[in-house]
Amino acid sequence: MTSTTDTGRFDPATSDARWQAAWDAAQTFRADDSSAKPKSFILEMFPYPSGRIHIGHVRNYTMGDVLARAKRMQGREVLHPMGWDAFGMPAENAAMEKGVHPGGWTRDNIANMKAQLKRLGFALDWSRELATCEPDYYGHEQALFLDLYAAGLVYRKESAVNWDPVDQTVLANEQVIDGRGWRSGALVEKRKLSQWFLKITQFADELLSGLGSLDKWPEKVRLMQENWIGKSQGLRCTFKFVGSPDGIEVYTTRPDTMFGASFVAIAADHPVAQRMAATSPELAAFIAECKRGGTTAAELETADKLGFNTGLSVEHPLKAAWHLPVYVANFVLMDYGTGAVFGCPAHDQRDLDFARKYELPVTRVVSDGEHDGAAYHGDEAYTGPGRIVNSEWLDGMDIAAAKAAVIARAQHDGWGHGETQYRLRDWGVSRQRYWGTPIPFIHCGACGIVPVPKADLPVVLPEDVDFRTPGNPLERHPTWKHVACPKCGADAVRETDTLDTFADSSWYFLRFASQPGDKPFDPAVIAQWLPVEQYIGGIEHAILHLLYARFWTRALQHIGLIDVAEPFASLFTQGMVTHETYSRRIQGEGGERTVFYAPDEISREAERALLREDGGEVEIGRVIKMSKSKKNTIDPDAIVARYGADAVRWFMLSDSPPERDLPWSEAGIEGCYRFVQRLWRLFGQYDAAATGEDKPLDRKRDQAVAAVADDIAALSFNKAVARIYELTSAAEKAAPSASRARAIRTILLLVAPMMPHLAEEAWAAIGEDGLVADAPWPPVDPALLVEDEVTVAVQVKGKLRDTLTVAKGTSKEALEALALASDKVQRALDGAEIRKVIVVPDRLVNLVA
């Protein structure tokens, strides 16, 4: 066998590039829509082109790559594409900070990251590469948006948003930090703006029931989506103002707690609050303060609960003489329910915080099994199960029965009715940004909102934009937005909002599968590839991306464009790659601060970490997720340059179960590199002319082939790696034979999806034709998968003294005789009399002396 270097060692520096070029030249991984083979669509969540891939990307894509390569070897036609989620704020930030165009910055980053991915040898179909920032992608997205609009699934309405008065833009809730814009630091305002929405709520029941069919998704992801959709059965009822037929409509999911009510709270923009604020400067000031707070349920849970006593009172629906005060409260949102709630402080933490702050009554109405008195003490609400107490005719019922009883009473007496509601809200897709998909509508003074004709798509972003002035450059562009109305020809203006980037990632998998020039996709081709057989990505996308992709797919099915309901048949959420941190406390002008150092700036000596620059010691921090801020990241390029792509790929697969976090280890990657060389030496011992049979090795080989195939299919890569280690050791120890040669060739094929460069080099060196990437998976003799030999433990006085390798089903008498014939057993007995022999066939011989 010829080595890749003069020293007889495998040289990844030359081999990696050679075989990557060979795959490119042969278009090895180009998927064929017309293939008669069964099809497999393997997909990892596509990356944002930030400029560099990180080790977390490497782990994610290595998993998908091994599966894709193995599927090809097993006779599948595999689609394994790659693209770029290329719109978004980071590019605009770069434009503002560096004076570059977002498009140029993004495309440069794509080129860099593509080169990095190629250096890792991923089996990707680059012919289908797409970037969401290119008109040939987002033009089709605009066409789909118009189709959804025509079907009534897109609408525009006024909605409350976070407004940054300095940057002149809407902020997502995540971009509001302590009430201020994350970039400008300005106090954020609540504003009402006309926004575009997608009717995801129309599909709430479908999205919820569809989770039941996703049995190959992690249970925790399905539960997270179920909670996000938040289907609840409750009561809609009216609390009448004292002495008036009018009242406040409330929706509650806990009608069982109505006898524990102590107040009613309404949102700051509730009509009642707005009317009163017109004549109350104090209330108007309070509402203005509320508008500077958060808008999400999560933010409101953690914010300080604030209220304004309106002086109004309402009658309790079950007892008219029982009057409750009405507050305007900052934790009630107009977009949830009716914009009004009744507070039962003993059994809702938010209500309890509010009641304690404003000294309102707190009455227990659900017993925890230990306490049932009306007086409720403490600052932690009881939200668990129990029996109803202190609630007159409801006393003694469980919660479910009490809910039903109150709803029945409300419907009978006419002051309320049962109703199903959802936590899910329609998807607001408007963004006051430049770097996004232009929303394809035109505003005409005479005709109103007019869709852009499909013949005029794509609506392309202008290149000549200026980011020196805050706000959306599209809004102030001198020419781009000024157009003629498609209906009447009068002067009109384009919509200057762009789409939420989640829209771009909600259908990209469809475009990967089918890429005609004249339409977003061909439904017949989609039917061949979809649903995605295996989708791989981080748990952080469990809700929004996955929910929006599921919605978009169902919406397109609803309007007849595709015949697929669920986009991803199987989902795998991989663990993160982690690393310890290195830091020092540094005294500076502004006081003491923590400075972090990158791993390549550190040398390790036993339990100490030293900064290479000055030799001084630094603090070793916890092993945590890699992040730029903590500088505990590893540059894949440097590792690949030092150890080769295959050692890096092997490390990503071998140490931890793929769903768990993987701690980065220099010793670990060095061990993987040594195994690469160990395999190279073993492959060098391949002898096609060898003769002689080794039945146990043949059995071990075929069992390994079957097990590794099953492990890869289950994404249990660490188990597959362990089996390959085991077979490698067996082959190394075996005497030369035809069986050993078959085992070595088999190991080469088994590692081909994991160490593809090494495998190609060895495949060529042992004289095989073509590429190992095109070779079939090793065949298996079913007879050899049946274990006909077993290892039986032999114990003396309860301690293991020997083992016997015997034919499966060996009789008790024969096992006893073999055990007694063992020298080790006789030494352990040392002449003692055997009082009893216990034999468990195929497992154990225990000699009691």
For residue 553, how many other CB atoms are within 10 A of its CB? Answer: 25
For residue 5, how many other CB atoms are within 10 A of its CB? Answer: 11
Strands of 39-44's sheet, edge to edge? 77-79, 39-44, 534-537, 571-573
Query: Please, how many CA atoms are within 13 Å of residue 276, restricted to the half-sphere of its CB?
Result: 21
Please, which residues have CB within 8 angstroms of residue 727's CB and are 6 or more apart in sequence?
700, 701, 704, 743, 746, 747, 750
* C-alpha 117, offset from chain centre: 21
Per-residue confidence (pLDDT) for residue 294, from 0 to 100: 56
- List helix spans (H) across 414-496: 473-476
User: Which of helix, strand or coil describes residue 418?
Assistant: strand
**Which element (helix H / strand E) includes 828?**
helix 823-829
- Taking a C-beta distance cutoff of 8 angstroms, is the pair 494, 479 a contact? no
Phi-psi category of residue 504: left, alpha or beta, with phi > 0 → left and psi -120 to 50 → alpha = alpha
Residue 307 pairs with which residues in a beta bridge?
329
DSSP string, 554-583: HHHHHTTS-S-S-SBSBEEEPPPEEEEEEE
Per-residue confidence (pLDDT) for residue 89, from 0 to 100: 85
Q: For residues 661 and 700, what is the distance between their CA atoms, to the nearest angstrom?
A: 31
DSSP state of 600: G
- Taking a C-beta distance cutoff of 8 angstroms, is the pair 567, 532 a contact? yes
For residue 558, how many other CB atoms are within 10 A of its CB? Answer: 16
- Taking a C-beta distance cutoff of 8 angstroms, is the pair 573, 539 a contact? yes
- Taking a C-beta distance cutoff of 8 angstroms, is the pair 391, 373 a contact? no
- Taking a C-beta distance cutoff of 8 angstroms, is the pair 176, 190 a contact? no
Phi-psi category of residue 790: left, alpha or beta, with phi > 0 → left and psi -120 to 50 → alpha = beta
User: For the chain, what is the total number of helices (H) and then of strands (E)?
Assistant: 26, 37
Joined tokens for residue 551: 């919605």
Joined tokens for residue 499: 């789409």
Per-residue confidence (pLDDT) for residue 5, from 0 to 100: 42
User: Which of helix, strand or coil describes residue 398?
Assistant: strand
User: Which of helix, strand or coil describes residue 766?
Assistant: coil
- Taking a C-beta distance cutoff of 8 angstroms, is the pair 699, 743 a contact? no
- List helix spans (H) across 694-811: 695-713, 717-733, 738-751, 756-765
Per-residue confidence (pLDDT) for residue 785, from 0 to 100: 76
Strands of 231-240's sheet, edge to edge? 247-252, 231-240, 416-422
Residues in the chain: 849
- Sign of dihedral through CA atoms 463, 468, 474, 480? negative
Query: How buried is 769 (Cβ within 10 angstroms: 0-12 exposed, 13-18 middle, 19+ buried)?
Result: exposed
DSSP state of 614: T
Residues 355/360/361/363 CA torsion (nearest 10 deg) = -10
Q: Cα–Cα distances in Å, from 339 out to 342, 544, 615?
A: 11, 24, 62
For the chain, state the CA radius of gyration. Answer: 34
The dihedrals phi and psi of 706, each to the nearest 5 degrees, come to: -65, -40
- Taking a C-beta distance cutoff of 8 angstroms, is the pair 722, 712 a contact? no
Pairing of strands 154-164, 169-171: antiparallel
Joined tokens for residue 687: 């002898």
Which of 531, 558, 523 lies closest to 206, judged by CA?
Answer: 558
Query: Please, how many CA atoms are within 13 Å of residue 790, restricted to the half-sphere of its CB?
Result: 15
Per-residue confidence (pLDDT) for residue 172, from 0 to 100: 66
Domains and CATH numbers, the chain: 35-134+506-573 (3.40.50.620), 139-211+427-501 (2.170.220), 231-422 (3.90.740.10), 577-622 (no CATH), 673-785 (1.10.730.10), 789-848 (3.10.20.590)
Which of 252, 233, 235, 231 lies closest to 409, judged by CA?
Answer: 235
Pairing of strands 176-177, 366-367: unpaired
- Sign of dihedral through CA atoms 463, 468, 473, 476? negative
Per-residue confidence (pLDDT) for residue 21, from 0 to 100: 97
Given a cut of 70, the residues of the chain with pLDDT beneath it are 1-7, 172-175, 293-302, 590
**Which element (helix H / strand E) includes 102?**
helix 102-119
Please, which residues have CB within 8 angstroms of residue 288's CB and are 6 or more apart in sequence?
none
Buried/exposed 377-412: b ≥16 CB within 10 Å, e otherwise? eeeebbeeebbbbbbeebeebebeebbebbbebbee
Per-residue confidence (pLDDT) for residue 6, from 0 to 100: 45
Residue 157 pairs with which residues in a beta bridge?
195
- List helix spans (H) across 397-507: 399-413, 473-476, 501-504
Question: Using a CB cutoff of 8 Å and minimum separation of 24, what contacts does 595-602 make?
Answer: 596/629, 596/630, 596/631, 596/632, 597/631, 598/631, 598/632, 598/633, 599/632, 599/633, 599/634, 600/635, 600/638
Q: For residues 649 and 672, what is the distance between their CA atoms, to the nearest angstrom?
A: 9
Q: For residues 785 and 787, what is the distance between their CA atoms, to the nearest angstrom?
A: 6
Q: For residues 388 and 410, what is the distance between their CA atoms, to the nearest angstrom?
A: 18
* C-alpha 277, offset from chain centre: 44
DSSP state of 158: E
- Taking a C-beta distance cutoff of 8 angstroms, is the pair 532, 568 a contact? yes
